[in-house]
Structure 1
Amino acid sequence: MTSTVPRHGSGTAGPPVGSQPPVPSRGQRSGLAGLLDLPAEMLRGLMRTAATTPGRLSFIGAGLVALSLLVGLVGTLAMQDRDDRIDALIGHREPLAAAAQELYRSLSDADATAATVFLISGSEPLELRDRYDEAIAKAGAALAKAASDSRGIPEAEGQIGIISQQLPVYTELVATAQVNDNQGYPVGAAYLREASELLRSEILPAAERLYEINTARLVDEQDSVTSFPWLTAILLLGLIAALVYTQLYLRRKTNRVFNIGLLVSSGAVALLVLWMTIALVVQGVLVGSGREDGTEQADRLVQVRIAALQARADETLTLVARGGGGEYEESFVERFQHFAGQDGRGGLLSEAVAKADGATAASLRAATDYAAAWLDAHANVREFDDSGEHRKAVLLASDSEDERGPAMAFTKLDEELVTAIDASRQNFVDDTSAASSALTLLAPGFAVLSVIAALGATIGIRERLREYR
């Protein structure tokens, strides 16, 4: 009889009784292929979860929370950026535009004053000499300030380069003209005309272009702070739509009209929309007012003042030329009519009066009277000069104490224009500061109300989920 018990050490050991080898799951793969299948498996799991009502509610709740927090983040950053840019308008951009204005004005003032100093024979009037030196110093300071913000703007750098190179040449020509005149050499007048031509043909055009560049940048930034926050608005509309859909969905599923948590969330979003709308409308109106009553009015008045200064220089250079200054007289008429019209009560000055109010309007009305008086005085000067009484014409044109002369009328006109320009700049600062105040707490308000909306959505969805446990 043969034994069926296996001998020790012979054959192979079979599997233990009752154990079976593992059977691979259908479709399951191992290794790298299995890792690649994980996203698909997760997606199928999410789809199975979403197929149930609790699963759908969980997804809806997570989406509402995420969207609420995203609205808060984007809105907070957008409103804070807008507020910062308004502050930059007041503290940085407008002062730079004003510096470019001051550069142009100071150069024109220097030209007019240099001609007046030269016209007066004998020793130089200390007051006029100081005014010329002050105008050159102000031009240098304004140029330095404008240059501090021109890096990376090739055109602005080019204009600054022209002014920096030619301004010392201009001052040297003026000094040479004055030295020759003091010594009685007629060539001094030629040097003065050369200096004035250099200023008008190269330096002033460069200063004007620099002013235009800075003004355009100011306007661009004013536009940017009143632009519509599209991304924030789209996200808010998306959140509102999601909240409305969720409440309709819950009403259909649970037959309950109100969900306290979602009502709180909706109220927070509604308050946020109302707050943002009012704040942005008020801010836009105030920035627009600052532009119209401040920036644009100041620009208009600066143009008036520059034209007046250049007209004064033309008036004086006509006399310096001693009968050969016809081109300067033509330039005087052109510039004067540009800023004050044919009778001294029109041109840019009348436009500024029409748009002004309060103390500014009073200053401009007085300026209009002085412009008309200047025109009458200029006619008297030309009458003396054209009739051969050059000495009388010079005395009348240069005497700043004579109420009948153009010097006093011009000085009074200039003083009123300075007052009006300062008032216009202050209007810009006041209105733009008020625009910044309109955004006070809006940025943190976005953060707080969005968190409240997220919490409300969480509570509202959680209460419904408890019903399925």
Structure 2
Amino acid sequence: MSTVAPVPAGRPAPPAAPGSARSTGSTTAADPTGLPAPGRDMVVDTPGLLNRWQLIGMSVAVVFAVVSALLQVLGWQADGRAADDTEQLIRVQNIQSSLLRADALATNAFLVGGLEDPAQRAEYERTVDDVQRLIADAAQAQPADEKVLAALNVEVGDYTTAVAQARDNNRQLFPVGAEYLSDASTSLRTEATPLLAALVKANTARADDSMAGQHPWWLLLVGAVAVAGLVWINQQLARTFRRRINVGVAVAAGLVAVTTLVAAASAFVNDSSNDQLRRGDLAVATAQAQARTAANDAKASESLRLIRRGSGAAFEEQWKASAATVQRTLQRGTADSWRAYREAHRRIVQADDAGDWEGAVKLATGTADTGSTATFDRFDEESAQLVGASGAVVTAELRSGREVALGLSLLTLLLGAVAAAAVARGIAQRRGEFA
């Protein structure tokens, strides 16, 4: 058994043997793991921490820029789709109105035995041509509608064929012509009208969804998360280096905050503008298109009532239903012409109920300014102009300013890169101080 010799006073202690624990007021055993003993100060890898914080801060700035720019591009694309969807909606409603306009012209011309009025015949053919052209344009503009439009085109062809047969018989004064015409009108409403109603519904939904494609709240959320991440990095730097603010990180946070506010404000403005368009001009255009469609349906029912000659009570009920739709949906500037037509129709019904069928037909087909045809034509023309003008305002507003939105998205990417560079510069300063 060995003993440890005491160290003489005033002489340094000999170095500890390899593997032994150095005492600092108490004796401890060696730690075979090589880790500092509990309670000892940990060695901090400051350069490694700075590298990690720099990577996190730059990533926050870059991810913010990319996501925010992407949201702005999606809003830019949504406005473009909304303009296209609105045009398609107006186009489909014009098909609907024009097809029933053609039926109103065909049935009114049928009231005149033999050869119908050449001008009225030409207008009918021109209206049918417009319908077929609009169907082709609609199929090209919206591939999702192609199948329904193809089926509609078949129904339009069947309708025009039946009308041509009815005219051939009417020129020869054959009563069977009335049956052909009545069947053509009925088939138009039972086969073609549901297809058009489905198209109107689908395109209305598309237009509404596209006009709601701005993302202001998401932009605010992304910006808030990015600012919070940069504030956290600044706090870590402040705790390590005893400095409250890192200029580079603060500049990056400021750029992110300002960019977020500008982008979100622009998105809020666009979203509000789209809401106003939806409640304003788009609502006017779609409602008046419905009124025009229902009015042409009413005009055709008026003629079919007289064609049936004494047994057309069912068509008068159809006229009342269509007239109620017109009254509910007609817009500014068309009420007077509709009121004039309603008065002309009232005189037709009064004459027919009194047994004066020839007088009723004369009122329905005459060219007098206060007659049924003239007053209705004024209403139809005013309606078409209002629908076209209101629809043009909507599409123009949706397409205007889109360059600004795209420019803001590109600016966001640029400012995000600047923010990332500011983070790198700010942390580089701390790295230089540490070195």
- Bin of the TM-score, shorter chain as denominator length: 0.7 to 0.9
- 1:283-316 per-position Cα deviation (integer Å, ceiling 9, x unaligned): 1011112222232221111110000000010111
Asked if residue 348 in structure 1 is aligned to residue 329 in structure 2, the reply is yes
Counterpart-to-counterpart distance in 2, 1:434 and 1:67:
33
Asked if residue 324 in structure 1 is aligned to residue 311 in structure 2, the reply is yes
Helix, strand or coil at the partner of 1:226: coil
The one-letter amino acid of 2:210's match is E
1:193 corresponds in structure 2 to 182
Asked if residue 251 in structure 1 is aligned to residue 261 in structure 2, the reply is no
Counterpart-to-counterpart distance in 2, 1:50 and 1:84:
53
Counterpart-to-counterpart distance in 1, 2:216 and 2:291:
35
The one-letter amino acid of 1:387's match is A
1:32 corresponds in structure 2 to none
Q: Is the 8 A contact 2:88 2:142 kept in 1?
A: no
Asked if residue 304 in structure 1 is aligned to residue 291 in structure 2, the reply is yes
Helix, strand or coil at the partner of 1:439: helix
Q: Is the 8 A contact 1:286 1:435 kept in 2?
A: no
Q: Is the 8 A contact 1:265 1:454 kept in 2?
A: yes
- 1:149-188 per-position Cα deviation (integer Å, ceiling 9, x unaligned): 665x5xx555334323322221111111111111121211
Counterpart-to-counterpart distance in 2, 1:235 and 1:317:
62
Report the CA distance between 1:450 and its aligned residue: 0.3
Helix, strand or coil at the partner of 1:132: helix
Give TM-score scaled by structure 1 length: 0.79
1:84-233 mapped onto 2 (5 Å cutoff): 84-90=77-83, 92-148=84-140, 151=143, 156=145, 159-223=148-212, 225-227=213-215, 230=218, 233=220
Report the CA distance between 1:96 and its aligned residue: 2.0
Counterpart-to-counterpart distance in 2, 1:440 and 1:70:
18
Helix, strand or coil at the partner of 1:441: helix
Report the CA distance between 1:321 and its aligned residue: 1.3
Report the CA distance between 1:108 and its aligned residue: 0.6
Asked if residue 386 in structure 1 is aligned to residue 353 in structure 2, the reply is yes
Relative to structure 1, the CA distance from residue 304 to residue 275 in structure 2 (aligned partners, 3 Å threshold; closer, same or farther) is same
* Identity, % of aligned positions: 27
Give TM-score scaled by structure 2 length: 0.85
Report the CA distance between 1:122 and its aligned residue: 4.3
1:71-90 mapped onto 2 (5 Å cutoff): 71-90=64-83
Relative to structure 1, the CA distance from residue 463 to residue 264 in structure 2 (aligned partners, 3 Å threshold; closer, same or farther) is same
Relative to structure 1, the CA distance from residue 227 to residue 69 in structure 2 (aligned partners, 3 Å threshold; closer, same or farther) is closer
Counterpart-to-counterpart distance in 1, 2:425 and 2:373:
79
Relative to structure 1, the CA distance from residue 311 to residue 245 in structure 2 (aligned partners, 3 Å threshold; closer, same or farther) is same
Q: Is the 8 A contact 1:76 1:444 kept in 2?
A: yes
Paired residues, number? 394
Deviates more, 1:265-274 or 1:438-447: 438-447
Report the CA distance between 1:438 and its aligned residue: 5.4
- 1:32-66 per-position Cα deviation (integer Å, ceiling 9, x unaligned): xxxxxxxxxxxxxxxxx994223212210111112
Asked if residue 65 in structure 1 is aligned to residue 44 in structure 2, the reply is no
Counterpart-to-counterpart distance in 2, 1:294 and 1:260:
50
- Unaligned ranges ≥5, structure 2: 1-41
Relative to structure 1, the CA distance from residue 128 to residue 433 in structure 2 (aligned partners, 3 Å threshold; closer, same or farther) is same
1:364-443 mapped onto 2 (5 Å cutoff): 364-365=332-333, 367-400=334-367, 402-434=368-400, 436=402, 439-443=405-409
Q: Is the 8 A contact 2:217 2:264 kept in 1?
A: no
Counterpart-to-counterpart distance in 2, 1:50 and 1:81:
49
Relative to structure 1, the CA distance from residue 236 to residue 227 in structure 2 (aligned partners, 3 Å threshold; closer, same or farther) is closer
Report the CA distance between 1:207 and its aligned residue: 1.6
- 1:91-133 per-position Cα deviation (integer Å, ceiling 9, x unaligned): x322222221122112111110101111123432222112111
Asked if residue 238 in structure 1 is aligned to residue 231 in structure 2, the reply is no
- Unaligned ranges ≥5, structure 1: 1-48, 341-346, 353-363
- 1:352-392 per-position Cα deviation (integer Å, ceiling 9, x unaligned): 3xxxxxxxxxxx23x11111111111111112112222111
